[in-house]
Amino acid sequence: MLLSPAVLALNGVSFTVTLMLVLAAGFALQVVRHWDLTSGSERQLELERRTYLIATLVTWSFAAAVVSLLLFVYNAEQMATQFVGAMCATGVLNAHPLGWPTLFLKILIFFAGAAWLMLNRLDNQAPDYPLVRVKYWLLLGLLPLAALEAGVQLGYFLGLDPDVITSCCGSLFTADGDGVAATVAALDPGWSLAAMYGLGLSVLGLGAVHGWRTRGGASGVGFALSGAMAFAAALAAIVSCVALYVYEHPHHHCPFCILKGGHGFIGYWLYLPLFTATALSLGVGLISGWGHIPSLTAAVRADGQRFTALALALFALFYGVATYAILTSNLTMTGVWW
């Protein structure tokens, strides 16, 4: 199991990313301790040069993490044939207790990385690098996350046993089962859709307020929180309701099968905008609190508005596609759900 090239690649990438972040964190620590912008000493110049290296390492780590997330899901899809009872990625992830945690950690790294890169971009716009210490402390927090992900993923792949009979998405995401997945699938479609649209409205509203009226710290954090909640509600709604319309089957709840070609790849149209929009909103929350620093005020405003607008557009796209999927589906649940 451990020896297939895709699995080797995934583990290799996660460990390399961890190493890159160790390097970055090491330099970050030096910067945090000795940074003094007013000094023209050689050490300060060297530290300033190091900031480029750190940014480059983190950027490439992030890019690798994104592709690795996608490869992980596809690989799980492909490995489904090797597990008894698994018919898609869900079964493969379910074959070992560390399967879902690996996926969640990868998603978490995606969000954390995106937010950090946005903060870094903000800091670079001020000649006095006011957020240098803040952002490098945060980077030190990113490192254990990456190390944990690498370890958990390794544990998952090492522990995968193809003889273990796993459950496929039909039995995992079924209302009668137990566990988180089953609970989500069992949510009343009406309520989950209501939650999705309701939180969607709130995120769009808060985003509009933040982007065009207040643009302050509080409204930014509010936007980020509502983005996170909208994300969770959207995922729940996909599993309990939207996916069913896509499959035109009242009991197929799997969140991965919508990525397959047979459904017009609609999964991409749903997940890509949703994830990107959520990442942007979290980043906006992170950068919005620094407007009180004079050298950053203009940049916070400009970046805040730009990214909020982008996030809102992507959220709108997501809700549009979800609604489209429901409306154009041949499945009718009037009389059953509504």
Task: Give the angle 239-242-248 at the CA atoms, nearest 5°.
Answer: 105
- Binding to another protein by CB under 8 A, coded x per residue (else -) over 75-104, reads x--x--xxxx--------------------
Single-letter residue type at 29:
L
* Cβ-based nearer residue to another protein, 35 or 191: 35
Among 22, 67, 201, 331, binds another protein (CB under 8 A): 67
Tokens of 55: 């940014």
* Cβ-based nearer residue to another protein, 67 or 201: 67
Among 42, 180, 328, 335, binds another protein (CB under 8 A): 42
Q: How far is the CB of 3 from another protein (least distance, A)?
A: 3
* Cα separation, 292 vs 276, whole angstroms: 27
* Cβ-based nearer residue to another protein, 163 or 178: 163
Among 26, 53, 66, 289, binds another protein (CB under 8 A): 53
Asked if 1 and 157 count as a contact pair (C-beta separation under 8 A), the reply is yes
* Cβ-based nearer residue to another protein, 225 or 293: 293
Q: 35-67 b/e with 16+ CB inside 10 Å = b?
A: beeeeeeeebeebeebbeebbebbeebbebbbe
Among 57, 103, 235, 244, binds another protein (CB under 8 A): 57
Q: Which residues contact 315 (CB under 8 A, 6 or more apart)?
A: 200, 203, 204, 207, 227, 230, 273, 274, 277, 281
Single-letter residue type at 165:
I
* Cβ-based nearer residue to another protein, 77 or 319: 77
Q: How many CB atoms lie within 10 A of CB 72?
A: 23
Asked if 167 and 94 count as a contact pair (C-beta separation under 8 A), the reply is yes
Q: How far is the CB of 16 from another protein (least distance, A)?
A: 6
* Cβ-based nearer residue to another protein, 68 or 90: 68
Q: Which residues contact 95 (CB under 8 A, 6 or more apart)?
A: 83, 86, 160, 161, 162, 164, 166
Residue 218 is a binding residue for another protein (CB under 8 A): no
Q: How far is the CB of 22 from another protein (least distance, A)?
A: 13
Among 15, 74, 191, 197, binds another protein (CB under 8 A): 74
Q: How far is the CB of 50 from another protein (least distance, A)?
A: 9
Tokens of 90: 């869900």
Residue 3 is a binding residue for another protein (CB under 8 A): yes
Residue 153 is a binding residue for another protein (CB under 8 A): no
Single-letter residue type at 230:
A
Among 22, 33, 34, 52, binds another protein (CB under 8 A): 52
Among 124, 174, 183, 297, binds another protein (CB under 8 A): 124
Q: Tell me whether residue 270 is exposed, middle or buried, using C-beta atoms within 10 angstroms of its C-beta: 0 to 12, 13 to 18, 19 or more.
A: buried
Residue with token string 């009389």: 335
* Cα separation, 12 vs 72, whole angstroms: 12
Question: Quick one: which segment of 7-15, 102-110, 250-258, 274-282 binds another protein (CB under 8 A)?
Answer: 7-15
Which residues of this chain interact with another protein, rule CB under 8 A? Answer: 1-10, 12-13, 16, 20, 37-38, 40-42, 45, 48-49, 52-53, 56-57, 60, 64, 67-68, 70-71, 74-75, 78, 81-84, 124, 127-129, 162
